[in-house]
Amino acid sequence: MWWRRGGAAALVIWVTTAGCGPGRVERAARQGRRSTAFQEMCETWQLDHTILPSLLATYREHRPCLRLPRIARAVLEAVHGTWRTAIVTNGPPDVQARKVEALGVSALVDVVVLAESCGTGRGKPERAVFMQALDAVGVRPRHAVMVGDDPWCDVAGARAAGLQTIRVRRGRLRGAADATGAAPDAVVTTLAVVPAVAERLFQERLRDAD
Protein backbone atom coordinates (compact mmCIF):
# COMPACT_ATOMS: atom_id res chain seq x y z
CA MET A 1 0.00 0.00 0.00
CA TRP A 2 2.71 2.50 0.99
CA TRP A 3 4.68 1.67 -2.16
CA ARG A 4 1.62 2.31 -4.34
CA ARG A 5 0.85 5.58 -2.55
CA GLY A 6 4.45 6.72 -2.95
CA GLY A 7 4.43 5.78 -6.61
CA ALA A 8 1.14 7.57 -7.18
CA ALA A 9 2.50 10.67 -5.47
CA ALA A 10 5.56 10.56 -7.70
CA LEU A 11 3.28 10.30 -10.73
CA VAL A 12 1.26 13.31 -9.57
CA ILE A 13 4.46 15.34 -9.42
CA TRP A 14 5.67 14.09 -12.80
CA VAL A 15 2.40 14.67 -14.63
CA THR A 16 1.95 18.10 -13.09
CA THR A 17 5.46 19.33 -13.85
CA ALA A 18 5.37 17.84 -17.33
CA GLY A 19 2.14 19.68 -18.08
CA CYS A 20 0.50 16.50 -19.34
CA GLY A 21 -2.78 16.70 -17.50
CA PRO A 22 -4.47 17.13 -14.10
CA GLY A 23 -2.91 15.98 -10.87
CA ARG A 24 -5.56 13.57 -9.62
CA VAL A 25 -3.53 10.59 -10.80
CA GLU A 26 -3.60 8.71 -7.52
CA ARG A 27 -7.35 8.28 -7.68
CA ALA A 28 -7.17 6.99 -11.25
CA ALA A 29 -4.43 4.54 -10.26
CA ARG A 30 -6.53 3.17 -7.41
CA GLN A 31 -9.61 2.79 -9.60
CA GLY A 32 -7.83 1.07 -12.47
CA ARG A 33 -7.03 -2.61 -12.50
CA ARG A 34 -3.45 -3.18 -11.44
CA SER A 35 -2.26 -4.52 -14.80
CA THR A 36 -3.83 -1.71 -16.82
CA ALA A 37 -3.72 1.20 -14.35
CA PHE A 38 -1.41 3.35 -16.44
CA GLN A 39 -3.40 2.86 -19.64
CA GLU A 40 -6.62 3.68 -17.80
CA MET A 41 -5.01 6.76 -16.27
CA CYS A 42 -4.14 8.00 -19.72
CA GLU A 43 -7.66 7.37 -20.99
CA THR A 44 -9.28 8.96 -17.94
CA TRP A 45 -7.22 12.13 -18.11
CA GLN A 46 -6.82 12.20 -21.90
CA LEU A 47 -3.04 11.86 -21.75
CA ASP A 48 -1.00 10.85 -24.77
CA HIS A 49 -0.23 7.13 -24.54
CA THR A 50 3.33 7.83 -25.67
CA ILE A 51 4.09 8.91 -22.10
CA LEU A 52 3.34 5.41 -20.73
CA PRO A 53 7.03 4.40 -20.54
CA SER A 54 7.81 7.55 -18.59
CA LEU A 55 4.88 6.98 -16.21
CA LEU A 56 5.99 3.41 -15.56
CA ALA A 57 9.61 4.44 -15.03
CA THR A 58 8.58 7.18 -12.60
CA TYR A 59 6.41 4.76 -10.63
CA ARG A 60 9.07 2.05 -10.43
CA GLU A 61 12.09 4.27 -9.85
CA HIS A 62 10.76 6.63 -7.19
CA ARG A 63 12.43 6.52 -3.79
CA PRO A 64 9.82 4.85 -1.56
CA CYS A 65 8.90 6.11 1.87
CA LEU A 66 8.19 2.85 3.66
CA ARG A 67 8.01 1.80 7.29
CA LEU A 68 8.33 -1.76 8.55
CA PRO A 69 5.29 -2.66 10.68
CA ARG A 70 6.13 -2.63 14.37
CA ILE A 71 5.22 -6.28 14.92
CA ALA A 72 7.29 -7.42 11.94
CA ARG A 73 10.33 -5.55 13.23
CA ALA A 74 9.83 -6.92 16.74
CA VAL A 75 9.69 -10.52 15.51
CA LEU A 76 12.75 -10.15 13.28
CA GLU A 77 14.70 -8.51 16.09
CA ALA A 78 13.66 -11.25 18.52
CA VAL A 79 15.02 -14.09 16.37
CA HIS A 80 17.97 -12.25 14.85
CA GLY A 81 21.23 -13.85 15.88
CA THR A 82 19.46 -16.97 17.14
CA TRP A 83 17.86 -18.21 13.94
CA ARG A 84 19.20 -17.98 10.42
CA THR A 85 16.65 -15.97 8.51
CA ALA A 86 16.00 -14.98 4.91
CA ILE A 87 13.48 -12.79 3.15
CA VAL A 88 12.32 -13.99 -0.27
CA THR A 89 10.40 -11.42 -2.25
CA ASN A 90 8.72 -11.45 -5.66
CA GLY A 91 8.56 -8.45 -7.96
CA PRO A 92 10.88 -6.59 -10.35
CA PRO A 93 14.33 -6.86 -8.71
CA ASP A 94 15.14 -3.15 -9.07
CA VAL A 95 11.86 -2.19 -7.42
CA GLN A 96 12.19 -4.78 -4.65
CA ALA A 97 15.77 -3.71 -3.93
CA ARG A 98 14.60 -0.16 -3.26
CA LYS A 99 11.84 -1.43 -0.99
CA VAL A 100 14.32 -3.53 0.95
CA GLU A 101 16.63 -0.55 1.35
CA ALA A 102 13.80 1.75 2.45
CA LEU A 103 12.53 -0.75 5.02
CA GLY A 104 16.00 -1.45 6.41
CA VAL A 105 15.35 -5.18 6.66
CA SER A 106 18.80 -6.25 5.47
CA ALA A 107 20.14 -5.49 8.94
CA LEU A 108 17.51 -7.75 10.52
CA VAL A 109 18.03 -10.93 8.46
CA ASP A 110 20.92 -12.96 7.12
CA VAL A 111 20.00 -12.62 3.47
CA VAL A 112 17.42 -11.06 1.16
CA VAL A 113 16.64 -13.00 -2.02
CA LEU A 114 15.13 -11.09 -4.92
CA ALA A 115 13.19 -14.04 -6.27
CA GLU A 116 12.89 -12.89 -9.88
CA SER A 117 16.68 -12.82 -10.10
CA CYS A 118 16.79 -16.59 -9.46
CA GLY A 119 16.20 -19.61 -11.66
CA THR A 120 14.09 -18.82 -14.70
CA GLY A 121 13.22 -15.37 -13.37
CA ARG A 122 9.60 -16.20 -12.59
CA GLY A 123 10.11 -15.92 -8.83
CA LYS A 124 8.13 -17.81 -6.21
CA PRO A 125 6.81 -20.53 -6.25
CA GLU A 126 9.78 -21.77 -8.29
CA ARG A 127 11.85 -24.28 -6.32
CA ALA A 128 15.17 -22.66 -7.25
CA VAL A 129 14.18 -19.52 -5.35
CA PHE A 130 13.76 -21.36 -2.05
CA MET A 131 16.89 -23.40 -2.60
CA GLN A 132 18.95 -20.25 -3.16
CA ALA A 133 17.69 -18.82 0.12
CA LEU A 134 18.44 -22.06 1.96
CA ASP A 135 21.92 -22.30 0.44
CA ALA A 136 22.62 -18.71 1.46
CA VAL A 137 21.85 -19.40 5.12
CA GLY A 138 23.25 -22.93 5.15
CA VAL A 139 20.04 -24.71 6.14
CA ARG A 140 18.50 -27.90 4.74
CA PRO A 141 14.87 -27.80 3.59
CA ARG A 142 13.69 -30.17 6.35
CA HIS A 143 15.17 -27.82 8.95
CA ALA A 144 13.46 -24.72 7.56
CA VAL A 145 10.08 -23.07 7.95
CA MET A 146 8.59 -20.68 5.38
CA VAL A 147 6.27 -17.95 6.64
CA GLY A 148 4.03 -16.17 4.14
CA ASP A 149 0.49 -15.09 3.29
CA ASP A 150 0.25 -16.33 -0.30
CA PRO A 151 -1.16 -19.89 -0.49
CA TRP A 152 0.42 -20.54 -3.88
CA CYS A 153 3.68 -18.58 -4.04
CA ASP A 154 4.65 -19.01 -0.39
CA VAL A 155 2.99 -22.16 0.93
CA ALA A 156 2.74 -24.42 -2.12
CA GLY A 157 6.15 -23.35 -3.42
CA ALA A 158 7.90 -23.92 -0.11
CA ARG A 159 6.20 -27.25 0.52
CA ALA A 160 7.26 -28.47 -2.92
CA ALA A 161 10.84 -27.57 -1.98
CA GLY A 162 10.61 -29.59 1.25
CA LEU A 163 10.09 -26.81 3.79
CA GLN A 164 7.47 -26.68 6.51
CA THR A 165 5.10 -23.76 6.16
CA ILE A 166 3.20 -21.25 8.26
CA ARG A 167 0.47 -19.29 6.53
CA VAL A 168 -0.34 -15.84 7.89
CA ARG A 169 -4.04 -15.25 7.22
CA ARG A 170 -4.36 -11.50 7.00
CA GLY A 171 -4.45 -8.69 4.46
CA ARG A 172 -5.72 -9.01 0.93
CA LEU A 173 -5.12 -12.80 0.77
CA ARG A 174 -6.85 -13.55 4.07
CA GLY A 175 -9.78 -15.30 2.42
CA ALA A 176 -7.85 -17.05 -0.36
CA ALA A 177 -8.22 -20.82 -0.43
CA ASP A 178 -5.24 -23.05 0.19
CA ALA A 179 -3.53 -24.36 -2.93
CA THR A 180 -4.77 -27.82 -3.89
CA GLY A 181 -2.81 -30.48 -2.04
CA ALA A 182 -0.63 -27.90 -0.28
CA ALA A 183 -2.25 -27.04 3.03
CA PRO A 184 0.13 -25.20 5.39
CA ASP A 185 1.54 -26.95 8.44
CA ALA A 186 0.16 -24.15 10.61
CA VAL A 187 -2.04 -21.08 10.24
CA VAL A 188 -1.70 -17.88 12.28
CA THR A 189 -3.36 -14.48 12.18
CA THR A 190 -0.49 -12.45 13.62
CA LEU A 191 3.27 -12.49 13.18
CA ALA A 192 3.68 -12.25 16.95
CA VAL A 193 3.18 -16.00 17.42
CA VAL A 194 5.34 -17.11 14.50
CA PRO A 195 8.54 -17.84 16.52
CA ALA A 196 6.68 -20.12 18.95
CA VAL A 197 4.76 -21.89 16.17
CA ALA A 198 7.89 -22.37 14.07
CA GLU A 199 9.74 -23.83 17.06
CA ARG A 200 6.88 -26.26 17.66
CA LEU A 201 6.90 -27.41 14.03
CA PHE A 202 10.64 -27.91 14.13
CA GLN A 203 10.47 -29.96 17.33
CA GLU A 204 7.66 -32.09 15.90
CA ARG A 205 9.71 -32.84 12.82
CA LEU A 206 12.68 -33.84 14.98
CA ARG A 207 10.48 -36.24 16.94
CA ASP A 208 9.08 -37.73 13.74
CA ALA A 209 12.60 -38.33 12.49
CA ASP A 210 13.57 -40.38 15.60
Do 196 and 118 reside in the same domain of the chain?
Answer: yes
Residue 39, pLDDT above cutoff 80: no
| Measured CA distances, 176 to 108, 149, 170, 210 (Å) | 29, 9, 10, 35
| Measured CA distances, 184 to 18, 89, 118 (Å) | 49, 19, 24
Q: What is the 3-state secondary structure (H, E, C) of 148-195?
A: ECCHHHHHHHHHHCCCEEEEECCHHHCCCCCCCCCCCCEEECCHHHHH
Average pLDDT, the chain: 80
Choice between 76 and 5, residue whose per-residue pLDDT is larger:
76
Strand-pair category, 145-148 with 164-168: parallel
With bands split at pLDDT 50, 70 and 90, how would you rate the model's confidence at 51?
A: low
With bands split at pLDDT 50, 70 and 90, how would you rate the model's confidence at 147?
A: very high
Choice between 200 and 40, residue whose per-residue pLDDT is larger:
200
Do 55 and 98 reside in the same domain of the chain?
Answer: no
Do 118 and 203 reside in the same domain of the chain?
Answer: yes
Q: What is the domain-level CATH number for residue 88? A: 3.40.50.1000
Do 101 and 41 reside in the same domain of the chain?
Answer: no
User: Among the listed ranges 62-71, 99-108, 110-119, which one has the minimum average pLDDT value?
Assistant: 62-71
Do 90 and 177 reside in the same domain of the chain?
Answer: yes
Residue 170, pLDDT above cutoff 50: yes
List of residues 6+ apart from 19 with CB closer than 8 A: none
Model pTM score: 0.72
